Amino acid sequence: MPAISRTPHPRERRIIFKNIDREGWTPDIDCYLKDGGYEELKKALNMQPQEIVSEVKASGLRGRGGAGFPCGAKWGFIRPGETKPIYLICNADESEPGTFKDRYIIHQDPHQLLEGMIISCFAVNARLAYIYIRGEFPLGAKILERAIEEAKGHGFIGKNILGSGFDLEIYVHRGAGAYICGEETGLIESLEGKRPYPRIKPPYFPAALGLYMSPTIVNNVETLCDVKYIVRIGGAEYAKIGRPNNTGTRLLCVSGDVQKPGYFELETGGVTMGELIYDICGGLKPGRKLKAVIPGGSSAKVLRADERYKIKTKRPDGTTVEEEIGIDDIRIDFDSLAAVGSMAGSGGVIVMDDSRDMVWALNNINEFYAHESCGQCTPCREGSLWMQKITARLLDGGGMPGDTDTLKSAADNIAGRTICAFGEACAWPTQSFVGKFRDEFLAYTSKNGNQQG
């Protein structure tokens, strides 16, 4: 796979991506071991599992898959003295449009992921783990399988790992090409051999009733790699990276209308949107102005370039002040992006300049979600295709008065009413695009009539 950015940008802090595009680096275990690989596993096996959980809690690590749920808290849901088997699943179904980070870890540094997984399994007492990798990554699956064999050969996976008495098997399971398999309960259903229909929560929270109705931890590739690093430096040290409640680094995937798109590992909240676009990604194409940014994968709500955001900032003395900021000043971290009404999501930053037609852009997103809706529950199943058909008709010149409002209300009737977060994923683009670029939609609906709705 051709790498987009071979040399790390000076603003980057490469921890997880340390070995990505590294000169002379190969994905085999010898290379990894020469570089000090599996030392954190040895360290972890000499710790109490509960200590590792405590370190992860102290690190403030939040899930890198999209929801940003605190990893330590998730692990803490496993009941002490659990009698059922506990499973750990690495979610390598990286499917959110605009997101292309996990694939580099899988392709170039598979042992980092395995080491993070083995440590995590030891921490939560999982004896069987799966890597659920999207079907579109056939090479990645092969690389992982080879890496697992290598790790087994060195006694890092299998019975009595490094004499610790801890047993673990890891299997690679390939998906069959459905976005919904990235939703953790859909993934679990798929792993069980069924259609990946997400489960209702309650009662099917994975930590209680997950794979085969047993306690199950599902973590993203990047998150599991972070665990290895937390073991190396300790939770407290890790928590110093980034910003409070937004600790560690984040892998950002920048695509769209910038000069130098690519992937970057940055301290969480260490850069603003303006710095990311103009300093790190080389700015927009000549003569172009920024129009919009989708900051966290295609399902995140779009940010309009000329919006002003009122956010509350904590001062060193503990007081909070309300500040009005523009898009360039938004820090790229979980809390800041949530504060401006969007989300950090999966780290996929999609930049759009003023050449972009927002109806076209939304239709592109709608096509994806209409195609990927699993069809289990009514609002998402029917609503996602309806929205796509409306935007397609608008683009086709068939806009009619009322379409804009219908589009928005269809999205409103999906969000918050579905079994899984796909409902929000497919509704948020429409809600935000129509809400923020209403004039562009009205222009399409007025071609055939008046400007109402």
Partner 1 sequence: MSEPAPLLNVQIDGVWHQFPKGTRVIEACARAGKFVPRYCYHPKLSSPGNCRMCLIEMGMPKMGPDRKPELGSDGKPVINWIPRPQISCAQDIAEGMGVKTDSPLVQECRHGVMEFLLINHPLDCPICDQAGECELQEFSVQYGNGGSRFREEKVKKPKHVVLGPRVTLDDERCILCSRCIRFMKEIAKDDVLGFASRGSHTYLTAHPGRVLDSNYSLNTVDICPVGALTSTDFRFKMRVWFLKETKSICTSCATGCNTIVGSRQNVIYRQTPRENDDVNSAWMCDYGRLNFHFVNSKDRLNEPQIRSGSTLENVNWNTAFGRAVEELKRYQPDEIAVIGSGRMTNEELWLTKKLIDGLKVTHYDIVPRTGEADDLLLNTDRNPNTNGAKLLGVSSDEPGVKLRRIIDGVSSGQIKAVIALHEDLTQAGLSAPSLEQLGALIVVGILPNETTKRATILLPGVSFAEKRGTMINAKGRLQRLNRAIQSPGNAHEDWEILRDLVQQLTGENGVYLIEDVFKQMAENVPQFEGLSISKVGDLGVRLLGVAEAAPA
Residues that bind partner 1 (CB under 8 A): 178, 195, 197, 200, 202-203, 370-379, 381-386, 389-390, 393, 400, 402-403, 406, 412-413, 416-419
Residue 360 neighbours by CB distance under 10 Å: 12
Shortest Cβ 225–partner 1 spacing (Å): 31
Shortest Cβ 393–partner 1 spacing (Å): 7
**CB closer to partner 1, 21 vs 412:** 412
**CB closer to partner 1, 70 vs 375:** 375
* Preceding amide of 316 cis, omega within 30: no
**CB closer to partner 1, 352 vs 385:** 385
Pairing of strands 87-92, 128-133: parallel
Shortest Cβ 96–partner 1 spacing (Å): 17
Residue 93 and residue 133 in contact, taking contact as beta carbons nearer than 8 Å = yes
**CB closer to partner 1, 138 vs 402:** 402
**CB closer to partner 1, 197 vs 444:** 197
**CB closer to partner 1, 152 vs 393:** 393
* Preceding amide of 2 cis, omega within 30: no
Encoded amino acid at 61, one letter: L
Shortest Cβ 180–partner 1 spacing (Å): 8
Name the H helices within 234-300: 235-239, 273-274
**C-alpha closest to that of 104 among 94, 116, 91, 114:** 94
**CB closer to partner 1, 27 vs 383:** 383
**C-alpha closest to that of 347 among 300, 277, 279, 309:** 300
**CB closer to partner 1, 91 vs 373:** 373
Shortest Cβ 373–partner 1 spacing (Å): 4
Strand partners, 263: 253
Shortest Cβ 214–partner 1 spacing (Å): 19
**CB closer to partner 1, 153 vs 177:** 177
Angle subtended by helix axes 358-372 and 378-395, to nearest 10: 150
Shortest Cβ 370–partner 1 spacing (Å): 6
Shortest Cβ 410–partner 1 spacing (Å): 8
Residue 18 neighbours by CB distance under 10 Å: 16
Could you give the CA distance from residue 103 to residue 137 in angstroms, rounded to a whole number?
8
Shortest Cβ 175–partner 1 spacing (Å): 13
Shortest Cβ 375–partner 1 spacing (Å): 4
**CB closer to partner 1, 220 vs 431:** 431
Could you give the CA distance from residue 302 to residue 330 in angstroms, rounded to a whole number?
13
Token pair 């749920």 in the structure block, residue: 69
Buried b (16+ CB within 10 A) or exposed e, 396-435: eeebbeebbbbbbebbebbbeebbbbbbbbbbbbbbbbbe
Residue 166 neighbours by CB distance under 10 Å: 17
Could you give the CA distance from residue 233 to residue 238 in angstroms, rounded to a whole number?
7
CA distances from 162 to 26, 30, 165, 173, 404 (A): 24, 17, 8, 25, 62
Q: How many CA atoms lie within 13 A of 285 on its CB side?
A: 11
